[in-house]
Amino acid sequence: MEQTIQTERFAASAIFDDFNERMRVEDYRGYVPALIDYVTDAAQQKGYTKLIVKARYEHLSIFIEKGFQYEGWIQGYFNGSDAHLLALYFQQERKTSENANMEDQIVASIQTKPRFVSLAPLSEEYTMRKAEPADAEALVNLYRSIFAIYPSPLHDLSYVENLLRKGAMFYAIEHDKQIVSAASAEINEMYHNAELTDCATLPNYRTHGLMKHLLKKLEEELKKQAIFCIYSLARAPSYGMNAAFYQLGYRYSGRLTNNCYIYEDLEDMNIWVKDVSRA
C-alpha cells in the first residue's frame, strides 16, 4: 500500500509491503536525516525485515553513514538522473544471501555471450498482441502455473481484470489460441521511466526466444511515449531471464538481496537497465 508521508521536515512516498515484509521509499524531499529516522522506525514498527530507498547521489553518504547497504542503481530513473538503491536490514537472515556466489557466476557467464544486433522474426505459428480485459483469466492461469508465489497479486482475477481495464501495457504471445508467454511495462508518469515486469513463459516454449520479442515490443511502445529509461528486476537464479536482458542490450547494475517472495521463496533480484534513446 502506497502512502504519502509529510512532516514539517520532509515529505516522502512509501510503499508498505506486508506480503514481502519490506518498506520501499520511492521518493522524498526535505531533510534526509529526519526522513531516515522516521522510515526506519516505521519499518520496524510494522515488523518488516528490510527497508529500501531510491536515493539521489548527493545523499548516498548520509544513508551509508546510517547503516544502509548499497545494492545497485537505475541509470536515468529520475528524469535522467540516477536512482541509487540502498537497503537497511533488520534481520541477519534477510541480509545474507546463500546463493550470492552462484548468482555472480550466472551474470559472469552471461556477460561472455554476444549481444543481439537484431532479432529473427517471430515464427508465423505465434501471434503477439496487446492483452485485453478478456485475457485476464488466461493470464492468471499462466502466472499460477509458473509461480507458486508472486510479489504482486497476479493470481487474483479481479486484480488482473482491473489492470487491463485501466489500459496496463501488457503484451502476450499466443500459440494455437493459448497465451504461452506474457510481459508488462509499469510506467512511472512523473519520472518518465518504466519497469519491465510480469515476465512469464510456459516451460515447453522457453527455447523459442518469445520473451525477447515481448520485451522488444514493450520497448518500442515505451519509446513512442518518450520513455527512455527502462529497467527490470530479474530473478537472480534464472539464467534465461538474465540472459534475455543482457542479449537485448541491458546493463547489469546490481542485485537486491532477498528482495521479494517470488516463484517459491524469498529471492535475490538482479537489476538490468537500458537507455533506449541510444538504441
| CATH code, domain carrying 89 | 3.40.630.30
On whether both 22 and 86 belong to a single domain, the answer is yes
On whether both 113 and 67 belong to a single domain, the answer is no
* C-beta separation of 210 from 173 below 8 A: yes
The three cell numbers locating residue 112: 561472455
| Amino acid 58: pLDDT | 98
On whether both 228 and 104 belong to a single domain, the answer is yes
Domain count of the fold of the chain = 2
* Domain of 72, in residue numbers: 2-95
End-to-end CA distance of the chain: 35
| Amino acid 149: pLDDT | 83
| Amino acid 148: pLDDT | 84
Look at residues 65, 95, 125 and tell me which one is the last residue of a structural domain. 95
| Amino acid 35: pLDDT | 98
| Amino acid 26: pLDDT | 98
On whether both 214 and 115 belong to a single domain, the answer is yes
On whether both 64 and 112 belong to a single domain, the answer is no
| Amino acid 185: pLDDT | 98
pTM of the model: 0.95
Mean pLDDT by 10 residues, the chain (279 residues): 94 96 98 98 98 98 98 98 98 96 98 89 96 96 90 90 94 97 97 97 93 97 98 96 96 98 90 94
| Amino acid 94: pLDDT | 97
On whether both 272 and 137 belong to a single domain, the answer is yes
In the three-class reduction of DSSP (H, G, I as helix; E, B as strand; rest coil), residue 159 is classed as helix
In the three-class reduction of DSSP (H, G, I as helix; E, B as strand; rest coil), residue 137 is classed as helix
On whether both 157 and 35 belong to a single domain, the answer is no
Give CA 49 to chain center in angstroms.
19
Amino acid in the structure at residue 73: W
Look at residues 95, 124, 159 and tell me which one is the last residue of a structural domain. 95
